[in-house]
Chains A and B, each alone.
Chain A
Amino acid sequence: MGKQTAMEGNEAVAEAMRQINPDVVAAYPITPSTEIVQNFAQFVADGAVDTNFVAVESEHSAMSACLAAAVAGGRVMNATSANGLALMWEILYIVSSLRQPVILSVVNRALSGNINIHCDHSDTMGARDTGWVQLYAEDVQEAYDNLIQAVAIGEREEVRLPVMNCLDGFLLSHSYELLEVEDDEAVREWIGPYQAINPMLDIDTPLTFGPLDLYDYYFEHKRSQMEAYPPAKEAIVAEGKRFGETFGREYGLFESVMLDDAELVVIGMGSTCGTLRDVVQAARADGVRAGMLKLRAFRPFPAEEIAEALSGASAIAVLDRAASFGAHAGPLYAEVTSALYSYGQQIPVNNYIYGLGGREILPDDLATCLDDLAGIAESGQPGEPVSFLGLRE
Chain B
Amino acid sequence: MSHYPPDATWHEMERGGIIPQAGNAQEYNVGGWRNEHPVRDDECCIDCLFCWVYCPDNAVYVKDESVKGLGFSPEHCKGCAICARVCPKDCIEMVPGGEFTEEQPSSREEA
Contact = CB atoms under 8 A, between A and B. Distances in A.
Contacts of B19: 207-208, 211
Given A99-B16, A224-B10, A217 B24 contact: no
Contacts of A208: 18-22, 24
A209 B21 CA distance: 10
A184 to B, nearest CB: 32
Contacts of A98: 16-18
B13 interface: yes
Contacts of A207: 18-22
Interface string A206-229: 111111110011011101110100
A224 B1 contact: no
A220 B21 contact: no
B11 interface: yes
Contacts of B44: none
B13 A217 contact: yes
Given A206-B22, A208-B24, A220-B8, A160 B15 contact: yes
Interface in B13-44: 13, 15-25, 28, 30
B1 A217 contact: yes
Given A216-B6, A217-B8, A223-B10, A209 B16 contact: yes
Nearest to A208: B19
In the A-B complex, list the 9 residue pairs whose CB atoms are closest, starting with the nearest.
A206-B22, A223-B10, A208-B19, A99-B16, A220-B10, A224-B13, A221-B17, A98-B16, A224-B10
A224 B16 CA distance: 9
B19 to A, nearest CB: 4
29 contacts: A97-B16, A97-B17, A98-B16, A98-B17, A98-B18, A100-B16, A198-B15, A206-B21, A206-B23, A207-B18, A207-B20, A207-B21, A208-B19, A208-B20, A208-B21, A211-B19, A211-B25, A212-B28, A213-B1, A217-B13, A217-B17, A220-B8, A220-B9, A220-B10, A221-B10, A221-B17, A223-B10, A224-B10, A225-B17
B11 A224 contact: yes
B54 interface: no
Interface residues of A, number: 25
Given A211-B1, A220-B9, A221-B10, A198 B16 contact: yes
A220 to B, nearest CB: 4
Contacts of A212: 25, 28, 30
Contacts of B13: 217, 220-221, 223-224
Contacts of A100: 16
A99 B15 CA distance: 7
B57 to A, nearest CB: 11
Interface string B82-109: 0000000000000000000000000000
A197 interface: yes
B16 A217 contact: no
Nearest to B28: A212
A198 B9 CA distance: 22
A217 B18 contact: no
Nearest to A219: B10
Among B4, B9, B12, B13, the one with the most A-chain Cβ atoms within 10 Å of its Cβ is B13
Nearest to A213: B17
A224 B12 CA distance: 9
B25 to A, nearest CB: 7
A213 B15 CA distance: 14
